């Protein structure tokens, strides 16, 4: 990888929690950070605090994801790292099912599908050596392709865990697609119940710090010891086995087909 002072890094969900920590650390190290968020006020504060470039989009709307990718493509000819960090938890009322602007189950839409689409749109900017880091979770539940949007038996945590497994499945698939290009993609569970707004709103007691999860994520963004490593899932800094469905090529193909279908329908 190039020295950090020569890198341009896009971090989604950069106005709070882990994303905010990553944007701060990377900016302090001299990287040119593009910080994404959906709240204009928070983005203004972030630009003031870090001097970072900021971009705004609601990832629950695939047309805004499209616009975000186009905006970045018009402004820049290269990205060195894409960090798909933005996400939402189980929700304050985990029994209430919600949908995105496109009529897609909200957690699947924001946590997985937006990053899937954004990554594919930005691939022309990610030229070797470059890295993609997907912030997933150890909480993973098998996707039922008979009811992928959980219209029956809904639970916020179930939806969250399925969206996080989808991220890992996407990571493995994309690594195969990018083999030999010099662009790597990995996923990680940064730390358990970090002290973030998402965790506090869920009613759980934080069990780790944002800095702990940040260190694990920064390793995948910056460290030379993961040069050339791709298609892996990490629990913190250790490589780990994801849910067995992530290792099933047929399941990954079904997820890819479903994702393409949902995106095509939303953007038609």
* Catalytic positions, written as ranges: 160
Integer Cα distance of 126 and 103 in angstroms: 30
Q: Give the E-state strand segments of 190-240 in sequence order.
A: 233-235, 238-239
Rounded to the nearest 5 degrees, what angle is found at the Cα of 256, between the Cα atoms of 169 and 118? Answer: 85
Tokens encoding 249: 């090529």
Tokens encoding 152: 């029956």
- What secondary structure letter does DSSP report for 154? -
Tokens encoding 38: 């959906």
Q: Which long-range contacts (CB under 8 A, 24 or more apart) does 232-235 make?
A: 232/171, 232/175, 232/186, 232/187, 233/136, 233/168, 233/171, 233/172, 233/186, 233/187, 233/188, 233/189, 234/186, 234/187, 234/188, 234/189, 235/138, 235/188, 235/189
Integer Cα distance of 248 and 253 in angstroms: 9
Nearest to 105 by CA among 148, 50, 46: 148
Q: What's the full length of the chain, in residues? A: 268
Q: Strand, coil or helix: what is 258?
A: helix
Pairing, β 79-84 against β 183-189: unpaired
Pairing, β 238-239 against β 233-235: antiparallel
């Amino acid at each position: 990888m190039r020295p950090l002072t020569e890198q341009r890094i896009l971090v989604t969900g950069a106005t709070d929690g882990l994303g905010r920590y990553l944007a701060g650390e990377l900016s302090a190290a001299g990287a040119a950070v593009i910080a994404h968020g959906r709240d204009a006020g928070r983005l203004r504060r972030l630009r003031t605090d870090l001097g970072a470039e900021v971009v705004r989009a609601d990832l629950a709307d695939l047309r805004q994801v499209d616009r975000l990718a186009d905006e970045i493509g018009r402004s820049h000819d290269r990205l060195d790292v894409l960090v798909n960090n933005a996400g939402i938890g189980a929700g304050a009322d985990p029994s209430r099912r919600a949908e995105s602007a496109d009529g897609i189950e909200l957690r699947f839409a924001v946590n997985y599908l937006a990053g899937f689409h954004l990554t594919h749109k930005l691939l022309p900017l990610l030229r070797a050596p470059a890295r993609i880091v997907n912030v997933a979770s150890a909480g993973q539940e098998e996707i039922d392709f008979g009811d992928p949007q959980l219209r029956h038996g809904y639970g916020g945590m179930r939806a969250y865990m399925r969206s996080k497994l989808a991220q890992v499945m996407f990571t493995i698939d994309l690594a195969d697609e990018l083999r030999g290009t010099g662009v790597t993609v990995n996923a990680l569970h940064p730390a358990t119940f970090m002290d973030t707004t998402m965790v506090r709103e869920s009613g759980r007691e934080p069990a780790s710090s944002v800095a702990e999860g940040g260190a694990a994520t920064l390793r995948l963004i910056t460290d030379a010891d993961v040069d050339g490593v791709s298609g892996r899932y990490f629990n913190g800094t250790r490589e780990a086995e994801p849910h067995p469905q992530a290792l099933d090529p047929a399941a990954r193909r079904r997820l890819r087909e479903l994702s393409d279908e949902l995106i095509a329908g939303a953007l038609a």
